Amino acid sequence: MSAAESLQAEDVYFSTNPPPKQLAAHTALAEAFITQHVAANRRVVLVTSGGTTVPLEKNTVRFIDNFSAGTRGATSAEYFLSAGYAVIFLHRQFSLLPYSRHYSHSTDCLLDLLSEDAEGRVAVRPEDSDRILDVLRKYQSARRDNTLLLLPFVTIGDYLHELRAVARLMAPLGSSGLLYLAAAVSDFFVPPERLSEHKIQSTNIVEKLYPGEKGSKTPSPPIEDEETFDNFDASPRVPRSKRLIIDLDPVPKFLKSLVEGWAPLGMIVSFKLETDPRILVHKARYSLERYQHHLVVGNLLSTRKWEVVFVAPGRQDQWLRVPRHGGWGDAEGRPLRPDEAPEGDPEEEIEALIIPAVAQLHDAHIVKSNSEKK
Amino acid sequence: MSAAESLQAEDVYFSTNPPPKQLAAHTALAEAFITQHVAANRRVVLVTSGGTTVPLEKNTVRFIDNFSAGTRGATSAEYFLSAGYAVIFLHRQFSLLPYSRHYSHSTDCLLDLLSEDAEGRVAVRPEDSDRILDVLRKYQSARRDNTLLLLPFVTIGDYLHELRAVARLMAPLGSSGLLYLAAAVSDFFVPPERLSEHKIQSTNIVEKLYPGEKGSKTPSPPIEDEETFDNFDASPRVPRSKRLIIDLDPVPKFLKSLVEGWAPLGMIVSFKLETDPRILVHKARYSLERYQHHLVVGNLLSTRKWEVVFVAPGRQDQWLRVPRHGGWGDAEGRPLRPDEAPEGDPEEEIEALIIPAVAQLHDAHIVKSNSEKK
């Protein structure tokens, strides 16, 4: 595909998949945010976080999702803030957020931390106060300095529209802009013209009640009368008429557009999550060669809180791993196997290693970019 | 299908779809909880809440989900507790929980409610204290009396195993047990024998690196070499070789087993969520006739916070709607159209109407059951 064809195809995608309602509002917020930090000569990172959804109906009841609580993104955002970056946090709605992540999605429920004193005031229990205070101060500092901008998305369509808009707005940052793409982005989607208007029915009820009207535009085999669509089926093969077939198209490979068109000067970091250790580095290296960006952080689903691998052009693969009480024994000096992830969470968050290493590569990116300008 | 065949098929489902790891632990907790409340002569309700997932891979990166934040279930649980029930809350992990729901999944972030005083103690800001205090007291009362048991699930398989186990444990409650099935349960799933072991690849990388091995067991068309699997495709028709086809089987209709085998004495309430108003009541009525349970609460996706319809055997459909400032005008006395949902949330939660109405039907269920015993 030529560059011109690619551009035209991109236009087709963005014109046939409608933008999210909040796009204009988000764009205005991002523009003001970037302007402020360009003026202050502060680096800005766009962190994407959480999974994108693929709706299966226009009035969405069912959707395909990508596994991600948003831990990597939310944790990374905190370390970027600590490293002096301003952070645009483009995240899946209701996924983990920087700072509040410590008190959500966990058994460590807010209400368990609170107590009522004799005067009926509500305070954090003294034994938890110090721990919360540290987080609260960092949160309030980010609020006060306006260094953290939260922009939510839900669907893959929302995400691509928002990503394009924010990446383009980052142009004034030049090489001091950083794109850190930790979101779990869908590879496949249902194009609007194949989307069912209403909830997909497991029966032909719409046709029965409203003859001549189709209940679903999704190509699927004819479904039997609902009386015969019955429960537990003893036979190992379920008749095709009782199945649901979902037919998905590939999502445009937006990284190419990002590198070539939307944010050509910034440093671009992508993530590669796999479950099969045999293909991880190969896929990371392949992605890098294909899109010509600056860094792929590879990780395995089961060991992702313990180690990652940095794959960058012209450098050897660099494995980062958090320390473990008692050392790594036999696994020292080689990648962990998927079954070697220790129980529980590490004492130190691996993002405490990732972000300084990324910032260092960003330093080099800026220096190189400046020297090329001269 | 005969009753014997149905039973055998049920066994097939539960033996081929493995139980969740925590099933034994959850069962022990539920048994102790039920024993305590049977002894105290307290009614017990099993509230199911949130959406079940359908994993598309064994090492799950992608899954199909059902739209549900868990609002209906979490809110209902609070009103059941207020009405004197003990609540087993079988919920999707990380979905909304009773009480803490007021401070999660929203812009009303915990950290925004806290402030640091001159001595470095962390307290709820005075202006928010009263509001939190009410919720905190109810939460602490449920903890103190052990009237709320939280059991999380993720997949449709987890859910069905947990539901069967808890429903069976409710037998000692007789007719004073209530099953309030507000979870958004998948209709379709991928059976284990068709599940891909690893993340489904958009390329044939596994076959390329490890010839002779299949990367995915999901039946899908052969996929081209990854070099040709390229980005934006200008042609409206994407070659089938670049698509992903997902082939799903129907989920066993567990309501039948619930009514006939797992919990034959308790009162069973199911929910029916639709987006097409023309089929809502028909589907609710049909479900009731098919499964012979006690109540279907019907609701439309767009108006679900404003009104629901009670469909019960031998009764007229009963619409419940929250009051609205200024009245309902033209829509008074008839169901709302999907486009008539007011902006924002109602002042009163509709669960404040639903739960007393359900409890009243439960009273009648108990009286009827007692009179039949005599």
The predicted complex's ipTM stands at 0.82
CA dihedral sign, ordered A102, A106, A108, A114: positive
B296 vs B308: CA distance, rounded Å:
10
From the list A66, A83, A34, the residue with the least C-alpha distance to A154 is A66
Which tens digit of pLDDT belongs to each residue from A40-72?
A: 999 999 999 999 999 998 877 889 998 889 999
Angle at A6 between CA A5 and CA A10, to 5 degrees: 115
Contact map slice: A 81-140 vs B, CB within 8 A? 94, 97, 99-100, 103-105, 109-111, 114, 116, 120-124, 126, 129, 132-133, 135-137, 139-140
Contacting B residues, span 18-47, partner chain A, CB-CB under 8 Å: none
A212 in contact with B, Cβ within 8 Å: no
What integer pLDDT is reported at residue B205 of this predicted model? 56
C-alpha distances (whole Å) from B360 to each of B181, B304, B350 are 17, 21, 16
DSSP SS3 for B41? coil
B71 touches chain A (CB under 8 A): no
Range from A294-298, B54-58, B363-367 carrying the lowest mean pLDDT: B54-58
Answer for the pair B49, B92: CB distance below 8 angstroms, yes or no: yes
* Strand bridging mode A177-181 / A44-49: parallel
Pairing of strands B267-274, B177-181: parallel
Confidence of residue B105 (pLDDT cuts 50, 70, 90): low
**CA-based nearest residue to A292, from A312, A275, A273:** A312
pLDDT at residue B194 tops 90: no
* Chain A residues close to B288, C-beta within 8 Å: none
A341/B338 Cα distance (integer angstroms): 49
Average pLDDT along chain A = 86
Q: Say whether A248 and B245 touch across the interface (CB within 8 A).
A: yes
pLDDT at A235: 34
Residue B124: which residues within 8 A CB-CB, separation 6 or more? A114, A121, A122, A123, B113, B114, B115, B132
Does the beta-carbon distance from A198 to B275 stay under 8 Å? yes
DSSP at A298 = E
CB within 8 Å: B129 and A109? no
A325 close to A288: Cβ distance less than 8 angstroms: no
H or E element that contains B250: strand B244-250
Contact assessment for residue B75 and residue B101, using Cβ atoms and an 8 Å cutoff: yes
pLDDT tens sequence across A324-348: 888 898 888 888 998 888 888 999 9
d(CA B98, CA B50): 12
The DSSP call for residue A93 is: T
Distance CA A165, CA A88 (A): 12
Whose structure tokens read 């379920």? A238
Rg of chain A on CA atoms, in Å: 24
C-alpha distance from A284 to closest chain B C-alpha (Å): 12
Q: How many CB atoms lie within 10 A of CB A374?
A: 4
Q: Which helix (H) or strand (E) holds A256?
A: helix A254-257
pLDDT tens-place string over residues A153-183: 999 999 999 999 999 999 999 999 999 999 9
- Please name which of B245, B252, B254, B253 lies closest in space to residue B194, comparing C-alpha atoms: B245
Residue given tokens 């003893």 in the structure block: A234
Strand order in the sheet with A318-321: A148-153, A86-92, A44-49, A177-181, A267-274, A295-300, A307-311, A318-321
The β-bridge relationship of strands A244-250 and A188-189 is antiparallel
Contact B99/A111, CB-based, under 8 Å?
A: yes
Lowest mean pLDDT among A182-196, B192-206, B278-292: B192-206
Handedness of CA B71, A244, B298, B177 (dihedral sign): negative
pLDDT in tens, A63-102: 999 888 999 999 999 999 999 999 999 999 989 999 988 8
CB contact under 8 A, B302 and A64: no
Query: Which of B 139-158 lie inside 8 A of A, CB atoms?
Result: 139-140
Q: Do B254 and A231 touch (CB under 8 A)?
A: yes
Nearest to B278 among A123, A129, A209 (CB): A209
Question: What is the mean predicted confidence (pLDDT) over B13-38?
Answer: 96
Specify the pLDDT at position A227. 27
| Number of Cβ within a 10 Å radius of residue A370 | 12
User: Alpha carbon of B96 to those of B67, B101, B121: distances in Å?
Assistant: 13, 5, 29
Give the tokens for residue A251.
């999502």
Flag whether pLDDT at A204 surpasses 90.
no
Nearest residue of A to residue B235, measured between CA atoms = A9
Closest CA to A166 of A190, A186, A183: A183
- Which residue of A109, A136, A209 is in closest CB contact with B111? A136
Q: Give residue B78's pLDDT.
A: 98
The angle subtended at Cα A180 by Cα A30 and Cα A358, nearest 5°, is: 125
* Cβ–Cβ contact A10 with B under 8 A: yes
DSSP string, B282-344: HHHHHHHHHH--SEEEEEETTTTTTEEEEE-TTS--EEEE---TT--GGGTTSPPPGGGPPSS
d(CA A46, CA A165): 12
Give the count of beta carbons closer than 10 Å to the beta carbon of residue B7: 16
Listed by number, the residues of chain A in 265-324 with a beta carbon closer than 8 Å to a beta carbon of chain B are 273-276, 278-279, 282-283, 286, 301-302
pLDDT for res A210: 62
Question: What's the CA gap between A24 and A30, in Å, rounded?
Answer: 10
Q: What is the rounded (10 degree) CA torsion for B235, B240, B187, B274?
A: 20
Are the beta carbons of A104 and B123 separated by less than 8 Å? no
Taking the C-alpha atoms of residue B20 and residue A130, their distance in angstroms, rounded to an integer, is 37
Distance of CA B242 to the CA centre of its chain: 34
The highest-confidence range among A39-48, A130-139, B196-205, B320-329, by mean pLDDT, is A39-48
Task: Identify the pLDDT of residue A234.
Answer: 30
Interior/surface letters A263-294, b for 16+ CB within 10 angstroms, e for the rest: beebbbbbbbbbbbbebbbbbbbbbbebbebb
Q: Cβ contacts (< 8 Å) between A238 and chain B: which residues?
A: 249-250
Higher pLDDT, B281 or A2: B281
Segment A268-290 shows an average pLDDT of 93
For residue B88, give the H/E element and its range: strand B86-92
Q: Which of B15, B16, B59, B110 to mutate to test the interface with A (most CBs of A within 10 A)?
A: B110
Average pLDDT, chain B: 86
What residue ranges in chain A does DSSP mark as E strands? 44-49, 54-55, 62-66, 86-92, 114-116, 122-124, 148-153, 177-181, 188-189, 244-250, 267-274, 295-300, 307-311, 318-321
Residue A65: strand, helix, or coil: strand
In degrees, to the nearest 5, what angle opens at C-alpha A355 toward C-alphas A352 and A357? 105
> What does the alpha-carbon distance between residue A138 and residue A81 come to, in Å, rounded to a whole number?
9
Does the domain at A3-105+145-190+251-373 match CATH 3.40.50.300? Answer given as: no
Cβ–Cβ under 8 Å, residues A259 and A177: no
How many CB pairs (< 8 A) connect A and B? 257
Q: Enter the DSSP assignment of B203.
A: S
Q: Which amino acid is at A77?
A: A
Considering only alpha carbons, which residue of chain B is nearest residue A206? B279
The answer to whether A294 and A312 have CB atoms below 8 angstroms apart is yes
Interchain proximity B111–A234, CB inside 8 Å: no
Judged by CB atoms closer than 8 Å, whether chains meet at A121 and B126 is answered as yes
DSSP B86: E
Q: Tell me, what's the pLDDT at B292?
A: 92
pLDDT attached to residue B234: 30
Domain ranges of chain B: 275-374
- Give A17-41 pLDDT, tens digit per residue: 999 999 999 999 999 999 999 999 9
Whether B204 contacts chain A with CB within 8 A: no
Provide the pLDDT for residue B22: 97
Average pLDDT for A181-195:
90
Chain B partners of A135 at a C-beta cutoff of 8 Å?
111
Could B121 and A129 be called an inter-chain contact, meaning their C-beta atoms sit closer than 8 Å? yes
Is the pLDDT assigned to residue B50 strictly greater than 80?
Answer: yes
> Rounded to an integer, what distance in angstroms lies between the CA atom of residue A46 and that of residue A177?
8
pLDDT digits (tens, 9 = 90+) for B109-159: 778 888 998 888 899 988 888 888 999 999 999 999 999 999 999 999 999
- In the prediction, which pLDDT does B193 show? 84
Cβ contacts of B194 on chain A, cutoff 8 Å: none
At residue A233 the predicted structure's pLDDT band, cuts being 50, 70 and 90, is: very low
Cα–Cα distance for residue pair B89/A50, rounded to 1 Å: 26
Structure tokens at A357: 């290493």
Distance separating alpha carbons of residues B93 and A97, to the nearest angstrom: 17
Q: Does B3 touch chain A (CB under 8 A)?
A: no
The whole-number pLDDT of residue A208 equals 62
